[in-house]
Chain A
């Protein structure tokens, strides 16, 4: 019986790998290698090292989390995308485009999916031909309110399919309303498709070459592990790094009370919040680089401060970051860092002499001893982190609600506990605990929590179902469903359909068929009044898989 879960998380500096025995819930192997420019190389290396401890046939699955897609997006190394937009009344869709390959075409739907302006297939054919002549090989199409009626997007997809390598219809990516975000998501989806497919093909080959038969999964931004063979929206592989560490916290600690977690890395610190044992999801979707998207992501706040941040003194104050120019001075780096301060304070291993030497000019500038300076430097880092956490929690608590019930039942998030992971996490935690004033824990495998998170991440999906009995249609965009319904179609019917759609998607996303739990959120029914009588009902439902882990890791 194969019961080993492999997780590999490729970060900016390190690539971590773990093998977890699901039966015993123990980490049986852990490796750390340096990240290589070609991410396939270090991922492969981490896998090979893990195979020194575990046998390939023992492996149940391999989950990868990499910075591949995020890096491509933030550095704008995207394949040129032919983008077609359709929009009816509202913001001028031409304003959405700063790209000459983005074209607005005729066609519009309204908020109930009624066609306002028909498509003009001839002009679309001409536009597609123009893309082709420019050498564009991937196309995305996004229409305002296409999630209420995808007919136009489907028609354009059909027109484009034969002439392009990849065609993305935005309504399939998210059923939530937000046209600019959906269009941006569709743009990124097509823009990273080839990069991601090539990476997956190469990694699949590597894995097979090692004699591993187990399926390959990729970690999504929402902390879900999804089969690499059925990764429908490649842009969802972005931001898997923060997701991995958040799932790692979930996997290494029992979180009953409201918890704030900190993943302290070399360059950045990621902050996340857990309520009722589950991480929060970004309310509208992730922001990646300059793109506001509908990519589902675990809600986190990232600040440019970590163990390797450069320390400077400005007008009598210690400044931490925002840049990292290399490792700590004690490890051969070019400048003093908080890690050097922790070495001086005896909190972490390292050459104390070099660390002191690196800090002493700054200490002299402030007229304090090196030890005093080190204490202040760590305190400055902790202050940055706690201020960011406070701001993050305030933002969460200021989030608007739309019903009186929610308004009166307004729960304010106030974490009672903190969990710290990441390489410098253990050394910083006593100081951070003091700054936060709440119980602070560091899990046993704090320095490979991200790889653990990838290894044990469960499924994560969502569908948005809408039934309108007056127009007689039901749509579940994520599952490509648009069906006729009769006047008696109820919320219970919609719940059943959404559940069925979710299990079809789940079977594709996870060939191992792990169990999952769902939560129905934003379930609402409205009676439609036209004239002075009831014309029908609108039922809406968001059904989500609850973020989960396959097992909680002990020591």
Chain B
């Protein structure tokens, strides 16, 4: 009797949060990773030579504040479950950064990719963006790495997109079911990034019922060539599992084998669980598949019980659509600098307005963003956010690696705001790694 070996040293942080749910019948409930645990433990994967289990860390308020502007503050929104979930992602990343493993999997909940810069409550089951908290932790405690995030959750990763909208040093690629047919209703090819990060936000909406073949067509013809060209130091996979053909809240048709193959192709340094709500029929097999694929183990025997060969093919119409889409996106990506010049010209500042809905919190906010166009850095940003009800917030972001001009502009912008102009004013001074706050709720 022996155990198969991992060909790649792989870390896993498993935190099923068996004592946390949004509500008893909510998809984000205690039971969600129960059967996944059963499968992973019964497979004996934690015993496989080369696979090492890590305990999660507890993310702190400072870790959250580095990424988010929370109203009124992080502790009243993000509880212990979020500290452990984000801390789990951090532990997974540390294992990689410290060279103990080649890749790692944060198999944690609650998820995070719908959490935006501004946090006012639950949004798409998320409070804090666990990938962003993890990445910014790495950038603070290790190096300012060039990071690519590939979001393979079935829902558009709108929170992650918002956080990295202006950052040229973070490539965000999201593959998701077409926003016209699924929450959150965004993620169209035209969403291409802010002026200083134009073309580092890339969205591929997939038609409902897209299969393994469709998914892999996009990986092969768009995602992998872009990653190859962009040359990130670190690849993060937001590994949602709700593209599975049995998922109850989406309409896609990807299999456990399809997921294992996605993992092999992306070969991420860190995979972080996002959504996936087919808790019995998909998650045990998909999670097992992701872990085995990361570890370089054969996944040929990983076939879920409901599998039938009919779920894998791709019809001509979908094939035609994806071919055109990938070609268009490759062209747009290649010419992103010219497109930015055309779009933003020689403006010194760019402004954007948007309405953001925190669905489960039932809060709708108006945002007004002003970005300093900068050739030297990601540019200083101010963001005004009004949720009515006496909850006005003003955020000043001085990005990591900011040039002296953007630093002084940011400090000035923060200094110009009176203590009572807003209910909360926040300065995220990333080069100094300090957050300052003022106002009624500060």
A interacts with B: yes
Q: Say yes or no for B394: interface residue by CB 8 A criterion.
A: no
Give the docked Cα–Cα distance between A407 and B35 (Å): 21
Are A97 and B31 in contact (CB-based, < 8 A)?
Answer: no
Q: Say yes or no for A524: interface residue by CB 8 A criterion.
A: yes
Q: Say yes or no for B62: interface residue by CB 8 A criterion.
A: no
- Which B residues, 1 to 55, have Cβ-Cβ distances below 8 Å to chain A? 1-4, 13-20, 24-25, 29-31, 34-35, 37-39, 41-47, 53-55
Contact indicator per residue, chain A 160-197, by CB within 8 Å of chain B (1) or not (0): 00000000000000000111110110010000000000
Are A404 and B80 in contact (CB-based, < 8 A)?
Answer: yes
Are A178 and B47 in contact (CB-based, < 8 A)?
Answer: yes
For residue A253, give the distance in angstroms from its CB to the closest CB of chain B: 31
In the complex, which residues of chain B have a beta carbon less than 8 angstroms from the beta carbon of A89? 256, 285, 288, 301-305
Are B305 and A116 in contact (CB-based, < 8 A)?
Answer: yes
Partner of A92, one of B20, B38, B46, B298: B298
Q: Say yes or no for B300: interface residue by CB 8 A criterion.
A: yes
Q: Say yes or no for B56: interface residue by CB 8 A criterion.
A: yes
Q: Say yes or no for B234: interface residue by CB 8 A criterion.
A: no
Q: Say yes or no for A292: interface residue by CB 8 A criterion.
A: yes
What is the chain A residue whose CB lies nearest that of B14? A400
In the complex, which residues of chain B have a beta carbon less than 8 angstroms from the beta carbon of A92? 4, 298, 300-301
Contact indicator per residue, chain A 513-529, by CB within 8 Å of chain B (1) or not (0): 00000000000101111
Partner of A404, one of B2, B19, B297, B302: B19
Which of A12-20, A21-29, A504-512, A532-540 is found at the contact surface with chain B? A532-540
Q: Say yes or no for B84: interface residue by CB 8 A criterion.
A: yes
Give the docked Cα–Cα distance between A89 and B80 (Å): 34
In the complex, which residues of chain A have a beta carbon less than 8 angstroms from the beta carbon of B35? 111-112
In the complex, which residues of chain A have a beta carbon less than 8 angstroms from the beta carbon of B47? 178, 180-181, 284, 292
Q: Say yes or no for B58: interface residue by CB 8 A criterion.
A: yes
**In the complex with contacts A401-B55, A533-B25, A97-B41 CB distance below 8 A:** no
In the complex, which residues of chain B have a beta carbon less than 8 angstroms from the beta carbon of A284? 46-47
Partner of A145, one of B42, B44, B46: B42
**In the complex with contacts A90-B43, A90-B288, A400-B54, A524-B38 CB distance below 8 A:** no
In the complex, which residues of chain B have a beta carbon less than 8 angstroms from the beta carbon of A404? 17, 19-20, 80-81, 84
Are A111 and B38 in contact (CB-based, < 8 A)?
Answer: yes
Contact indicator per residue, chain A 110-144, by CB within 8 Å of chain B (1) or not (0): 11100010000000000000000000000000001
Q: Say yes or no for A403: interface residue by CB 8 A criterion.
A: yes
Partner of B56, one of A91, A95, A407: A407
Partner of A97, one of B1, B24, B280, B288: B1
What is the chain B residue whose CB lies nearest that of A399? B55
Are A179 and B39 in contact (CB-based, < 8 A)?
Answer: no
What is the chain A residue whose CB lies nearest that of B85? A404
Give the docked Cα–Cα distance between A2 and B17 (Å): 53
Size of the chain A interface, CB-CB below 8 angstroms:
52
Q: Say yes or no for A444: interface residue by CB 8 A criterion.
A: no
Give the docked Cα–Cα distance between A284 and B42 (Å): 12
Are B2 and A290 in contact (CB-based, < 8 A)?
Answer: yes
Residue from A97, A183, A527 having most chain B Cβ neighbours under 10 A: A527
Are A91 and B301 in contact (CB-based, < 8 A)?
Answer: yes
- Which A residues, 59 to 95, have Cβ-Cβ distances below 8 Å to chain B? 83, 87-93, 95
Partner of A402, one of B18, B38, B44, B301: B18
In the complex, which residues of chain B have a beta carbon less than 8 angstroms from the beta carbon of A405? 19
Are A88 and B305 in contact (CB-based, < 8 A)?
Answer: yes
Give the docked Cα–Cα distance between A179 and B34 (Å): 17
Contact indicator per residue, chain A 96-120, by CB within 8 Å of chain B (1) or not (0): 1111001000000011100010000
Are A98 and B1 in contact (CB-based, < 8 A)?
Answer: yes
**In the complex with contacts A402-B14, A404-B84, A111-B1 CB distance below 8 A:** no
Are A400 and B16 in contact (CB-based, < 8 A)?
Answer: no
Partner of B58, one of A96, A116, A407: A407
For residue A82, give the distance in angstroms from its CB to the closest CB of chain B: 13
**In the complex with contacts A401-B55, A402-B16, A404-B80, A527-B24 CB distance below 8 A:** yes
Are A402 and B15 in contact (CB-based, < 8 A)?
Answer: yes
For residue B11, give the distance in angstroms from its CB to the closest CB of chain A: 11
Give the docked Cα–Cα distance between A534 and B24 (Å): 9
Give the docked Cα–Cα distance between A179 and B43 (Å): 6
- Which B residues, 164 to 180, have Cβ-Cβ distances below 8 Å to chain A? none
Q: Say yes or no for A158: interface residue by CB 8 A criterion.
A: no
Give the docked Cα–Cα distance between A97 and B3 (Å): 8
Partner of A291, one of B1, B19, B38, B302: B1
In the complex, which residues of chain B have a beta carbon less than 8 angstroms from the beta carbon of A527? 24, 29-31
Are A403 and B43 in contact (CB-based, < 8 A)?
Answer: no
**In the complex with contacts A89-B302, A89-B303, A97-B1, A179-B55 CB distance below 8 A:** no
Q: Say yes or no for B70: interface residue by CB 8 A criterion.
A: no
Q: Say yes or no for B410: interface residue by CB 8 A criterion.
A: no
In the complex, which residues of chain B have a beta carbon less than 8 angstroms from the beta carbon of A179? 42-44
What is the chain A residue whose CB lies nearest that of B24? A527
What is the chain A residue whose CB lies nearest that of B53? A400
Give the docked Cα–Cα distance between A98 and B2 (Å): 7
For residue B31, give the distance in angstroms from its CB to the closest CB of chain A: 5
Give the docked Cα–Cα distance between A93 and B297 (Å): 13
Are B42 and A111 in contact (CB-based, < 8 A)?
Answer: yes
For residue A105, give the distance in angstroms from its CB to the closest CB of chain B: 15
What is the chain B residue whose CB lies nearest that of A287? B47
For residue A53, give the distance in angstroms from its CB to the closest CB of chain B: 45
Give the docked Cα–Cα distance between A292 and B37 (Å): 19
Q: Say yes or no for A1: interface residue by CB 8 A criterion.
A: no
In the complex, which residues of chain B have a beta carbon less than 8 angstroms from the beta carbon of A178? 41-42, 44, 47
Give the docked Cα–Cα distance between A93 and B302 (Å): 11
In the complex, which residues of chain B have a beta carbon less than 8 angstroms from the beta carbon of A400? 13-15, 53-56
Give the docked Cα–Cα distance between A111 and B58 (Å): 31
- Which A residues, 209 to 226, have Cβ-Cβ distances below 8 Å to chain B? none
Are A112 and B280 in contact (CB-based, < 8 A)?
Answer: yes
What is the chain A residue whose CB lies nearest that of B38? A111
Are A177 and B31 in contact (CB-based, < 8 A)?
Answer: no
In the complex, which residues of chain A have a beta carbon less than 8 angstroms from the beta carbon of B3? 95-96, 180, 292
**In the complex with contacts A89-B285, A404-B19, A96-B41 CB distance below 8 A:** no
**In the complex with contacts A111-B38, A292-B47, A403-B19, A97-B2 CB distance below 8 A:** yes
Q: Say yes or no for B199: interface residue by CB 8 A criterion.
A: no
Contact indicator per residue, chain A 374-413, by CB within 8 Å of chain B (1) or not (0): 0000000000000000000000001111111101100000
> What 7 new A-B contacts, CB under 8 Å, besides A91-B4, A98-B1, A526-B31?
A83-B1, A111-B284, A178-B42, A284-B46, A400-B56, A528-B31, A529-B31
What would be 22 A-B contacts, judged by CB atoms less than 8 Å apart?
A: A89-B285, A90-B302, A93-B301, A111-B42, A112-B280, A145-B38, A179-B44, A180-B47, A181-B47, A284-B46, A400-B54, A400-B56, A403-B17, A403-B18, A404-B20, A404-B81, A408-B58, A526-B18, A526-B30, A528-B31, A529-B24, A538-B31
Shortest Cβ-Cβ A-B pairs, 8 listed: A180-B44, A111-B38, A95-B4, A184-B1, A177-B42, A400-B55, A177-B41, A92-B301
